[in-house]
Structure 1
Amino acid sequence: MSLSPPAIVVSLTQSIRARPILWDQYQRTNVINEQELRLIKAVDKVPKEKRVGIVESDPEGYASLLVSSSTGKSLLERSGKRVEFVQYLLALGVELCEDVPSYIIALNSRQDPYSHLITLLDHGDDPIPIIASSLLTTLISVSLAKSKVDRPTQQTLPTLFKYLATICASSESNLQDLAVQSYVLLLRNSYSRMTFWEMGDETVRGLTGVVETAAAGSKGKGTTDVGLTAGISSSVAALGGDLRQGGVNLQLLYHVLVGIWALSFEETIAEELDEKYDLIPPLVHLLRSAIKEKILRVCLAIVANLIGKAPATNLPSLLLARLLPLLSTLKGRKFTDPDLTADLDSSLGALEAFQLTQTNFDEYATEIRSGHLSWTPPHRSQDFWKKNARRIMEENGGELVNCLARALRESDDKIVLAVAAHDVGVLVKEVPEKRRVWDTALVKSRVMELMGDSDPEVRYESLKTVQEFLRYAFGG
């Protein structure tokens, strides 16, 4: 995927390259040698077209400024504490990588192209780690395109991911942008995706957290204005061209979703994304509230991968998240993007076919296991409880009982608490001989505690459930 260089990198490199450096003076004191001075002067402050031609004629020579060879250390490595040198050489390297493909090949052909660059991620001068990470990202992303991942790339990638995860957690949007765009370039093959995934919360949470934030700020918004900026609601701000969804910069959100889409090509990741990071509910919220077609397109691409790579794991959760009616609505709209249309059609077909196999009990069990309880029809259906209460209590050794207990114990969502309290009360009423199971799971005491909750619906449902427990207080 081709991306424009991150704004912060462009700004820093342009500023650094514009500063005058007294090269001749450094050459006279043997800081740089005559050959290095000639190479630098040939490309310093010359038009891009001329610079490209010069570097193309000697890519190995220019590579030697940044990366050591068998004949000796590079100028960058010898620069040591000369911050202005390090900054300049890194900025030059970034610009040459952008303009001269043969220069990247020359750098990557060195025996160990990353060993010194990776140490600069810990440099105390703020611009240096930023520019070094951008340079490393470019070099490693090209290396990852090879059929086999080489050892230097294997050794360096986790450290680079660790640095990017740190700046991804920054409050500065420019740094977040740099991290996420770097992820997009790096997550280009199975090896890098699994390396990223196996680092767990350190890396993945930076992406899923952005999706959660954008979705939380977009709840209740419709898809009627996809592709339009007119009539943007309070969840979207268009100020000075800074278009936002749910409080998140739209371009940042798009790059985050592209990163998740890349991860979802791995079957292992597709199986575990929702389980570990509860991704499906916010993803469906974004589909429902997307204000730009490109957001809709990449969300649908993620859904298609989740279904295609791990249908047994993800179809129940997608159905529970009410994706099917949303896709049916989207199906009635006209989209010109063939990939979007294909993903929409395949996802809709898979969900429709899966729904035909589901009973009321299956849908209820999926909901309870997910922890995303709401007032779906089974909760209010006397017929459902008459037919299924005993099965709910006994299924998989009381699995659903434990899920209800966990929802009451861990959730702070008032709807979840009210529904869970309601269901416990009905189960006590329908299967009274198993009521002691709720004592063992500490549910009875929790429901009594919720009688004092600030939410009136939680209080009401908890009171009704406590009454059911009390009905049998003096029974055997």
Structure 2
Amino acid sequence: MLSNNTLKKEGESDAILFARNDLVHDVKVTIISHPYLDDMLDKIRTKDIPWEEYKHAGLITEDEVAMIKHVENKSMADLTPIMAEHGLYYAALYLELMQKLARVDALQKVLVLIHDMLDDHEERISLFHDVGKKVTDFPFGPFHKALRISDEFIGIQSSKILTLLICSTPERDIDINEFFRWMTFQLQSPLQHVVDLNIQILDALFHIPEYRRAFWDTTHATDSLVNILKKSSAPQKVYELTFAIWLLSFDNEVAKNLDRRCQVIPTLIELAKSAVKEKVIRVIIATFRNFIEKAPAENMSAMLVAKLLPLCEHLSTRKWADPEIADDIEFTQNELQRSFQSLSTFEVYVSELETGMLQWSPSHLSENFWKQNATRLNENNQKLLRQLARILSASPNPVVLAVACHDVGQYVKYNSKDGRKNLEVIGAKQRVMELMTHQDSDVRYHALSATQKYFAMTS
């Protein structure tokens, strides 16, 4: 069984840590942690809340105040007998308070009380599910409601408890799509502790297959996650992000379209090259294996273009503590070699266009290649030529731009009849001329060369 505690511990056996497609049935609340959150819990725990005033205002009842005061500021040792005898009543109390209260200070305190109830006693989460059997919208509803309140601590702690609830029951949270929309916004926060905590939450939720697809179907959700990965360098954060990507890749739809949507394969390869921690390489290679097993047609060419094969050849020479790493590397290497041998030169070129990863591979520099294939860029309503134009307009990489300008020149050279008109219609001519003033000398040179070929061709 893959327990959530293993997700964060460096010394655990990788054979356990990466048990394939194993689900988490008991998620410990301590795995979603951050020093910022610990500090906030401590600060709010010591705050005095005017419960009596709220009682007089009709916000809570006298019995509720009495129950709160019976556990407020109690140590874990003091809470144990109380929860053993009255735990179900406290679960019901906290859910009722979360549902009806709107004051920020009161909700913060209730969330701290829930944390203290569950801290080191995650089995008590079942009490909240027991209450939910008798009350509609419990236990998930009150925490979804809390996410709409504009308070950072309430949002973080509510999402943490909500995750614990979701991952400890076979019952589906019907509002999971709303939760993922909220999380997508959080992933774009400038506050790193907010981003870090939400990544940890996703690591827990993605152990449940149907939630992977729900996240994938949420607008901008996966893009936001991959964008964070592309900007990250801290080993633990990279690990948690790649772990989330690995779990997502077990879904067939995700495996087919993740790289097409987010260009994640080159990013994972670069991270594997620079990774110091074995666990990071382990999860990245396991992701590539999923891509190959579940969607080879959609991913194999992109992996070859991004030079995953040389990386696998290098990694295969290293010693690994976990034999599963060597097994995944060998599998990936063998499949890539088999695919490489079967691909034509033009198919490799098409993969470069589709991934936007143009490089000075032999096909670009071969006159024979362009004599044979230049007109093929016109097929399917100039699909490949339009892709080349998009690369010219969107890529920030000077090598990619230089290769693209070179290809435009070769295209027009061997499409003397319609090449000029096609380039003008799709906007490539204007873009190449703009690149004649690019700051990179290679881009300027190849843009000038392409422009000269364009005007050298008769209409």
TM-score band w.r.t. shorter chain: 0.7 to 0.9
Q: What is the match of residue 103 of structure 1? A: 124
* 2:225 aligned residue (193, 196, 207): 207
Of 271-280 and 323-332, deviating more is 271-280
Which amino acid is the alignment partner of residue 193 of structure 2?
N
Matched residue count: 425
Q: What is the match of residue 305 of structure 1? A: 290
Which amino acid is the alignment partner of residue 186 of structure 1?
L
| C-alpha distance in structure 1 between counterparts of 2:181 and 2:377, whole Å | 45
Equivalent residues in 2 for 1:14-93, closer than 5 Å: 14-20=42-48, 36=64, 39-67=67-95, 74-81=96-103, 83-93=104-114
Alignment deviations for residues 393-438 of structure 1 (CA, whole Å, 9 cap, x no partner) = 3444532222222222333322222111111222222332332332
* 2:153 aligned residue (109, 122, 127): 127
Alignment deviations for residues 174-194 of structure 1 (CA, whole Å, 9 cap, x no partner) = 111111111111222222111
| C-alpha distance in structure 2 between counterparts of 1:184 and 1:337, whole Å | 22
**Residues 16, 453 of structure 1: alpha-carbon distance in 2 compared, 3 angstrom cutoff:** closer
* 1:154 aligned residue (155, 164, 174): 174
| C-alpha distance in structure 1 between counterparts of 2:78 and 2:384, whole Å | 70
**Residues 447, 128 of structure 1: alpha-carbon distance in 2 compared, 3 angstrom cutoff:** closer
* 2:199 aligned residue (173, 180, 184): 180
Equivalent residues in 2 for 1:274-423, closer than 5 Å: 274-390=259-375, 392-423=376-407
Q: Quote how far apart the aligned CAs of 1:259 are.
A: 1.4
CA contact (8 A) 2:167 2:208 kept: no
* 1:250 aligned residue (230, 235, 243): 235
Q: TM-score, normalised by structure 1?
A: 0.82
| C-alpha distance in structure 2 between counterparts of 1:34 and 1:409, whole Å | 67
| C-alpha distance in structure 2 between counterparts of 1:425 and 1:25, whole Å | 78
Answering whether residue 213 of structure 2 is matched by residue 194 of structure 1, we say yes
Q: What is the match of residue 137 of structure 1? A: 163
**Residues 445, 188 of structure 1: alpha-carbon distance in 2 compared, 3 angstrom cutoff:** same
Alignment deviations for residues 72-124 of structure 1 (CA, whole Å, 9 cap, x no partner) = xx24445443x443222211112323433443112123132222322222324
Which amino acid is the alignment partner of residue 251 of structure 2?
E
| C-alpha distance in structure 2 between counterparts of 1:413 and 1:258, whole Å | 28
CA contact (8 A) 1:324 1:351 kept: yes
Q: What is the match of residue 15 of structure 2? A: none
Kindly report the root-mean-square deviation, in angstroms, between the aligned alpha carbons of the 2 structures: 2.6
| C-alpha distance in structure 2 between counterparts of 1:368 and 1:80, whole Å | 53
CA contact (8 A) 1:190 1:266 kept: yes
| C-alpha distance in structure 2 between counterparts of 1:20 and 1:368, whole Å | 62
**Residues 56, 205 of structure 1: alpha-carbon distance in 2 compared, 3 angstrom cutoff:** farther
**Residues 17, 449 of structure 1: alpha-carbon distance in 2 compared, 3 angstrom cutoff:** closer
CA contact (8 A) 1:417 1:458 kept: yes
Q: Percent identity?
A: 31
The higher relative CO (CA closer than 8 Å, separation ≥ 6) is in 2
Which amino acid is the alignment partner of residue 104 of structure 1?
I
CA contact (8 A) 1:27 1:33 kept: yes
Q: Quote how far apart the aligned CAs of 1:20 are.
A: 4.8
Q: What is the match of residue 451 of structure 2? A: 466
CA contact (8 A) 1:210 1:253 kept: no
Which amino acid is the alignment partner of residue 214 of structure 2?
T
CA contact (8 A) 1:62 1:103 kept: no
Which amino acid is the alignment partner of residue 154 of structure 1?
I
Alignment deviations for residues 13-67 of structure 1 (CA, whole Å, 9 cap, x no partner) = 2322234557789789987656545644554444424423431333211112212
Unaligned runs of at least 5 residues, structure 2: 9-30
CA contact (8 A) 1:17 1:91 kept: yes
Alignment deviations for residues 197-252 of structure 1 (CA, whole Å, 9 cap, x no partner) = 11121x222210112113xxxxxxxxxxxxxxxxxxxxxxxxxxxxxx2xxx3322
| C-alpha distance in structure 2 between counterparts of 1:270 and 1:427, whole Å | 33
Large movers: runs of 4+ above 6 Å: 22-31
Which amino acid is the alignment partner of residue 165 of structure 1?
T
